[in-house]
Structure 1
């Protein structure tokens, strides 16, 4: 039996400010750092031993993973950074406060972009572009694969490739795998693992720093699930 542990990064500064973050490289708050320490301690108390780890290419996830591993005294565990686990790309919404976006585009439109499965926000514009730094970490990625906006459906599509090519093979070897990613990329993995419908996945809520532990059998099916809840809560939505 393999183990898959999904953990949303600790609270970021834009989570705190209720801004659409997406591919913007925003750092953790003090509360976010502490959330990841608590998450690591909780996993250690559960007797979890890790074999391999994955994170998105965004700093808030990489930093969160480092804190998690340090808290578990497992900094030596192999770490893979995979851009396909990045947060959903919010296009022109990137950097906007939720309230301001609702004033500009209308509450119903913003709700559909946040909760709908196929709806895309407007593509990246000049104002949002300054927040999205396509630097050396994306050097090997074909330009056609780098989005300018994404629906949740498209996010599921790219995360599915990471699942098939990178994560699932580790689970088939019976390994204990942790994935530190984002609200929407973890929604995508939850959809895959739990075989959720398109409608169901949009309603999935994932708290910062709350490990979700699955027991995974040889058919890559989840046979058990438990969530280690945080006492240090964030008011952040998945934005």
Structure 2
């Protein structure tokens, strides 16, 4: 069995000012760097030894992973980047303010018509993005959901094949939340995951099991260590 520590990247400039980052990228802020330093120290405090590491190819996840591996004392393990576990692409709306996108533009699309907030799905959001994207970059739901599933499943399969027991994966808020929902339809919609949070999964013989979602206790442990210095 492979134990998976699935991390949302540290807080970035766009996260701080409420912009939809998508495939665009901004670096971690000073607070974001401290947060993922806390995370790494928290892993070390619990003596978690990772066998392999995976992240998307976005700068913010790479930067996050570097902090995690350094402060958890796991710097020498194999590390791969995979564009399939990137964030959603918001097309021509990448970089726009969250409120304008999710509360202004998307609710006016045909994909949202006649649906209450409780009825909306990730597929509806994807369809709405396709309607309003003028650049042709937004992904159809079939493409988006497949690349997310394929990316995480392939990482887990590879880890299992190499005999890995513990792996760390750094990805993105909506991508992680979408993956959880694709694995289990009974999970709440639109999971809100904090930067530097950990979602626990296990993988064995082609199947994922979902553990705690959005765990912040590793960061809390690391914060105590930093505050005591």
What TM-score, normalized by structure 2, do the two folds share?
Answer: 0.77
Rounded Cα–Cα distance in structure 2 between residues aligned with 1:20 and 1:93: 8
Per-residue CA deviations over 1:79-138 (Å, capped at 9, x if unaligned) read 1010001100011221111233367526565x95x9632133146546xxxxxxxxxxxx
Residues 224/85 of structure 1: CA separation in 2 closer, same or farther (3 Å cut): closer
Distance 1:162-1:106 versus aligned 2 partners, 3 A rule: closer
Residue 21 of structure 1 and its aligned partner are, at CA, apart by: 0.8
Q: Residue 216 of structure 2 corresponds to which residue in structure 1?
A: 228
1:187 aligns with 2:192: no
The DSSP-based 3-state class of the residue aligned with 1:212 is strand
For the pair 1:196 / 2:201, whether they are aligned, the reply is no
Task: Give 5+ residue unaligned stretches, structure 1.
Answer: 127-146, 233-239
The alignment yields a C-alpha RMSD, in angstroms, of 3.0
Q: Secondary structure at the match of 1:159?
A: helix
State TM-score, norm by structure 1.
Answer: 0.74
Structure in which a larger fraction of residues adopt helix: 2
What is residue 44 of structure 1 aligned with on the other side?
A: 44
Structure 2 residue ranges without an equivalent (≥5): 223-229
**Is the Cα contact below 8 Å between 1:22 and 1:90 reproduced in 2?**
yes
Within a 5 Å distance, the mapping from 1:16-165 to structure 2 comes to 16-101=16-101, 105=105, 107=107, 116-119=121-124, 120=126, 121=129, 122=131, 124-125=133-134, 148-150=137-139, 154-165=143-154
Specify which of 194, 199, 207 is matched with residue 207 of structure 1. Answer: 194
Residue correspondences, number: 208
Q: Please, which moves more after superposition, 223-232 or 168-177?
A: 223-232
